[in-house]
Structure 1
C-alpha cells in the first residue's frame, strides 16, 4: 500500500524539514517488509484567492487532483476523530489487509479544507482540539505513520 502525505504550504529548510525527513526515512525503511511504500510527500502552494471560502475550494481541488483517484483519503481536520496510536495503526493495517493500494493523508491550508474534500474523505482525523501549524502537523503525521508501521511490525509499544 502506497502512503502519501499531501499538504498545502511548504516546509522550508531547517529543523522542521530535518525532523520530517527523519520520520519519513524511518517509515520508508521499515514499511516495505510490511507491504507499505512511501510516505511520499506532496506540497502544494497556498491559494491566492482573497476570500477564505474561495481559498478552501481552490486548495481542495488542487489536493484532490494531486492524489490517486481511488485512494483511501484521510483528511486532517480539527473536527475529526481522535484516536490512540494503536487504533491508528490497526486502521492502517486493516486498509492494507483489505487490499487498499493507495492511502492519502491531506493537510489543509490556514483556512482548513474545502467541502468537496471533506465530503470525499473516508476518515476525518484530528490531532486534538488545538490549532497546529501545517508544518508541525506534517511532522506529527509522519511520526504517527512511522509509529503505526512499528506497531504493526510487532515492536513493543511503550503504552501497552
Structure 2
C-alpha cells in the first residue's frame, strides 16, 4: 500500500520541509519490508476563489482528482477523532491487509476541508483540540506514518 500526504498549499524550503522529507525517506525504507510501497507528498495550489465555501469546493475537487483509485482517505480536521499511535497503526495495517492500494492523509487549506469531501473520508482524524500551523501538521502527519510503520514492523522506535 502506498502512503500519500496530500496538502493544500506549498511548503516552503526550510526545516519543516526537511523534516517531512526525512520521515518520508524513513517510511520508504522501513515500509518496504512490511507491504508499504512508497511515500509521496502532493501539494495542491490554494484556490483563489473569493468566498470560503467556493475555495473549499475547488480545493476538494483538486484533492479528489489527486487521490489514486481505491485509496483510503484520512482527513485531518479539528472535528475528527483522536487516536493513539497504536490504534492508528492497526488501522493502516487493516487497510494494507485488506488490499487497499493506497492511503492518503489529507490536509486542507486555511479554510479547512469541504464538508462533503470530509464526510466521505474513511477516517477523520484530529491531532488534538488545538489549531496547528499547516507546515507543522505535515511534519506531525509524516512522523505518525513513520511511527505506525515502526509499530507494525516491531521496531523499537515507538516506546510506551
Q: TM tier, shorter chain?
A: over 0.9
1:34-56 deviation digits (Å, cap 9, x = unpaired): 00022211001111011111111
Structure 1 partner of 2:142: 142
TM-score, L = length of structure 2: 0.96
Counterparts of 1:18 and 1:12, CA distance in 2: 10
| Unmatched tracts of structure 2, length 5 or more | none
**Pairs aligned (count):** 159
2:80 corresponds to 1:91? no
Structure 2 partner of 1:32: 32
Secondary structure of the residue aligned to 1:36 is coil
Structure 2 partner of 1:51: 51
Structure 1 partner of 2:65: 65
| Unmatched tracts of structure 1, length 5 or more | none
| Residues 84-123 of structure 1 mapped to structure 2, 5 A cutoff | 84-123=84-123
Counterparts of 1:99 and 1:84, CA distance in 2: 23
Deviation at 1:115, TM superposition (A): 2.1
TM-score, L = length of structure 1: 0.96
Secondary structure of the residue aligned to 2:26 is helix
**How much is the aligned-residue C-alpha RMSD, in angstroms?**
0.9
Displaced runs of 4 or more, over 3 A: none
| Residues 3-18 of structure 1 mapped to structure 2, 5 A cutoff | 3-18=3-18
